Amino acid sequence: MSSNQKIVNAVAEYLDHISKVLPDDVVKALTRLRAEEKNKAALSVYDTMFRNMELAEELGKPLCQDTGIVQFKVVCGQDHPAIGEIGESLKEAVIKATKEAPLRPNCIETFDEINTGDNTGTGAPTIWWDIEPGRSDLEIYVYLAGGGCSLPGIAKVFMPGQGYEVIAPFAAERVTEMGLNACPPLFVGVGIGNSIETAAMNSKLALMRDIDSSNDNPNVAALEKELEEKLNYIGIGPQGLGGSSSVMGVNIVNTVRHPATLAVAVSFGCWCHRRGVISFDKDLNYSSKTHTKFAK
């Protein structure tokens, strides 16, 4: 089999899997929130979610009908032999998984307003690249970006004089105004940077990190905890119907700011947070550390 075909098959199989089975960290977070839940209606929503997870796996069907727009972040060792073929292979994998899983066709060409039918199109699937010198392995982060959870995403450039205190109200307002429809309990990714797109990208990278992980900087890690507690106090509960919590977790990814700017972005993941990492060695053997049920 050509290396192109190997990547296409593996990624298509992985897309199929993550549309049907949630990553280990998300299952763990939901299990914890369900155990801590006191509200009766909220508990019945959790029951429905867990039953849905069981059925999805059993029947081999996508957990949620909105299988999103496929987004990849490719971290590729400079010496990986297949480096030149990855982009095309990912596109083919999306087309294959759309047919086989199946995934819902969600790509609308803007202004033409035409659904492309196969989840590819201008700029789709999204592919972000990192080339790593001195490495020969390949890691592909995969995210199914649903509409409901992409909708509350927000970014703004503040003046640094306003301080990091702007983050909590900025995120909290978004949770109460828009978060109810994003299928809570939410996973909150906060990005900090110098300009709008660095902050926005960082907020998406925050959602790629494990829910249980903490920022390396202890001050930022403390802010992650503080934000989580504050948002949980609001108690929007599963589906926004009210409950003991609001979020599965808060992750912050930060890069430098300009002396005159503090850019903040918030991205949201829904309870059905379908993201994972598939790792290949240079011979294209693969496995996934986020999805232990993805066997190979």
- From 32, 61, 135, 289, residue interacting with another protein (rule: CB under 8 A): 61
59 binds, among another protein, ligand SF4, none (CB under 5 to 8 A by kind): another protein
Environment class of 46 (CB within 10 Å of its CB; exposed 0-12, middle 13-18, buried 19+): buried
State which H helix or E strand residue 108 sits in.
Answer: strand 108-109
- From 272, 275, 276, 278, residue interacting with ligand SF4 (rule: CB under 6 A): 272
d(CA 181, CA 273): 14
106 binds another protein (CB under 8 A): yes
Compute the C-alpha angle 178/179/183, nearest 5°: 130
Helix, strand or coil, per DSSP, at residue 166 = helix
State which H helix or E strand residue 128 sits in.
Answer: strand 126-132
Considering only the stretches 84-92, 98-106, 189-197, 199-207, report the one whose residues sit in contact with another protein under the rule CB under 8 A. 98-106
Whether the Cβ atoms of residue 160 and residue 193 lie closer than 8 Å to each other: no
Q: How far is CA 221 from CA 141, 190, 228, 249, 254, in A?
A: 23, 12, 11, 12, 11
59 binds another protein (CB under 8 A): yes
Considering only the stretches 3-11, 79-87, 254-262, 266-274, report the one whose residues sit in contact with another protein under the rule CB under 8 A. 266-274
Q: Which residue type does 27 have?
A: V
175 binds, among another protein, ligand SF4, none (CB under 5 to 8 A by kind): another protein
149 binds ligand SF4 (CB under 6 A): yes
- From 36, 51, 112, 293, residue interacting with another protein (rule: CB under 8 A): 51
103 binds another protein (CB under 8 A): yes
Place of tokens 């920022």: 215
- By rule CB under 6 A, what count of residues binds ligand SF4? 10
- From 175, 190, 201, 252, residue interacting with another protein (rule: CB under 8 A): 175
d(CA 272, CA 83): 31
| Least distance to ligand SF4, CB of residue 34, Å | 16
168 binds, among ligand SF4, another protein, none (CB under 5 to 8 A by kind): another protein
| Least distance to ligand SF4, CB of residue 26, Å | 11
Sketch the per residue contact string, 208 through 227, with another protein: x for CB under 8 A, - otherwise: --------------------
d(CA 47, CA 146): 22
237 binds ligand SF4 (CB under 6 A): no
**Encoding tokens for residue 152?**
């509350």
- From 11, 49, 76, 248, residue interacting with another protein (rule: CB under 8 A): 49
d(CA 187, CA 253): 14
Interface with ligand SF4 by CB under 6 A: which residues? 64, 66, 146-149, 182-183, 270, 272
